[in-house]
Amino acid sequence: MSPIETASATDRIGSRILVIIPAYNESECILATVRNIEAYGYDYIVVNDGSKDDTLSICRANALNVLDLPQNLGIGGAVQAGHKYAQRHGYDIDIQVDGDGQHDPSYIPKLVEQINNGADLAVGSRFLEKTDGFQSTFMRRVGITWLSWWIKLFTGETVTDPTSGFRACDRKAIDLFCKNYPDDYPEPESLALAMKTGLSVREASVKMLERQGGQSSIGGFSSVYYMIKVSLAVWIVCWIHRKGV
């Protein structure tokens, strides 16, 4: 049976699922990304993060479900807006999917399975098992390896793909992230926050594709800033939430 035949808008125990699609200047691929998710029957919300291109007009012209932020809040603000939408509308699980077409919705059931099995936050990992999907650039993989080690140093838990934006949250994680979610490059920092506040974090092996349009926000000097900022942010989160405080 194909993934499309097994996926649905609810999981096997009847949970309501929402796909959150943060989008900033994703006019090249946002329509194809949404149509692919619609093909699997999932509810979704596109969070237009103050795009300067035609992302919003494309969403409106094609009657897509879009939440338009009046100004650019960054990926953290856009994702948190999606979590708040999920909370307000009573969804049991939300799934973060990038607007650039990298994340294959046929793997959503694997993330949901981890939630069904007791995880509060499930992360789609390219590195948990050997796959033939897009593995990112060499320098980015070096950074991922560093962040994986850094998070384990402070939490005792291993996450093989800490920068992955393909993730599933249950209601406890949704509630946490509605109250507190990092603004800038949030994935590793929010993992540390979830772990240090007692949430269960697990990974599921997924295959990722190369981005279908747009440009990554991490490159050149920004990659150095990313590593320094995220490393410090993870340390601060773990220090604030250390045991006995």
Residue 91: pLDDT over 90: yes
Residue 148: pLDDT over 70: yes
Please tell me the total count of domains within the chain.
1
- Least confident range of 34-38, 132-136, 152-156, 193-197: 132-136
Contacts of 102 (CB under 8 A, 6+ apart): 134, 166, 208, 209, 210, 211, 212
Tell me the pLDDT band of 133, cut-offs 50, 70 and 90: low
The answer to the question of residue 177 being in a domain is: yes
Question: How far is Cα 196 from Cα 241, in angstroms, rounded to an integer?
Answer: 6
Average pLDDT of the residues in 169-179: 98
The pLDDT value given to residue 156:
94
The answer to the question of residue 245 being in a domain is: no
The answer to the question of residue 70 being in a domain is: yes
We report the CATH number of the domain holding residue 117 as 3.90.550.10
The answer to the question of residue 235 being in a domain is: yes
Rounded (10°) angle between helices 186-196 and 171-179 = 110
Buried b (16+ CB within 10 A) or exposed e, 224-242: eebbeebbebbeebbeebe
CB 103 within 8 A of CB 166: yes
189-243: pLDDT as tens digits:
999 999 999 999 999 999 988 755 545 555 545 667 878 899 999 999 999 988 6
The pLDDT value given to residue 140:
73
Tell me the pLDDT band of 185, cut-offs 50, 70 and 90: confident
The answer to the question of residue 112 being in a domain is: yes
The answer to the question of residue 205 being in a domain is: yes
135-144: pLDDT as tens digits:
566 667 788 9
Average pLDDT of the residues in 30-55: 97
Q: Quote the radius of gyration of the chain (alpha carbons, Å).
A: 17
Tell me the pLDDT band of 18, cut-offs 50, 70 and 90: very high
- Residue ranges making up the domain that contains 172: 3-240
The answer to the question of residue 135 being in a domain is: yes
The pLDDT value given to residue 34:
98
Mean residue pLDDT of the chain comes to 88
The pTM of the full predicted model, rounded to 2 decimals, is: 0.87
- Least confident range of 10-14, 16-20, 56-60, 62-66: 10-14
Residue 30: pLDDT over 50: yes
CA 164 to chain centre: 6
* 225 or 21: which leads in pLDDT: 21
The answer to the question of residue 199 being in a domain is: yes
